[in-house]
Chains A and B, each alone.
Chain A
Amino acid sequence: MSLVPFLAISLGAAAGALIARRYRRLSLTVGLLGLVAATIAALAIVPGDRLGVGPGRLEATEFGRLFLALGCSTGLIVCLIGLATAWQRNLPAALLGGFGAIGLALAIGDSITALMAILAGALVGSLVTLVRPTTAANVQVASREFRAIVVAGAIAIVGMAWIARPLGPLAEEPTVFGVAYMAVALAVAIRFGAIPFHRWAARLSESAPEIALPLLLAWAPAAFAVVALAWTDRSIAPLLLPLEVERSVVLTVGVLSIVLGAIAAMLQDDLEHIVGYSIVQDAGYVILGLAILDPVAWQPTRTWILVFVVVKTAFAAWAVAVRTRFGTGTLPDLGGWARRSPGLAIGLLLIVVATLGVPGLVAWDVRSRLVDLSITAGPLRLLVIVGGLASLGYYGRIALAGLRPPSVLVLAGATERPRRIYRAVARVRAGAGAGTDARAGADATAGAGATARAGALGTSSVQVTTSIDAVGVDTSTGRPTGGLGSPRAIVLLESLGAAAWRMNRAPIATVGVLILAVMALMVGAGGLGGPAAAAAPAPEPVAPSEIFVPGQTEPPSPSPVESRAPDDSGAPSFEPIPTDSPISSEAPSLDLSPSIAPPTETPAPSIAPAPTQAPSPSPS
Chain B
Amino acid sequence: MTGTQDSDRDGTGFCGAPVSVPGVNDWFVNEVLPLEGALMQFLRHTWRNPADIEDLCQDIYVRAYESASREIPKSARAFVFAIARNLLIDRIRSAQIVPIDSVSDLETLNIPTSQPAVERSVMARQELRRLQAALDRMPPRCREAVVLKKIEGLSIQEVAARMGISPKTVDRHLSDGACFLADFVYGGEDGDKR
A and B interact physically: no
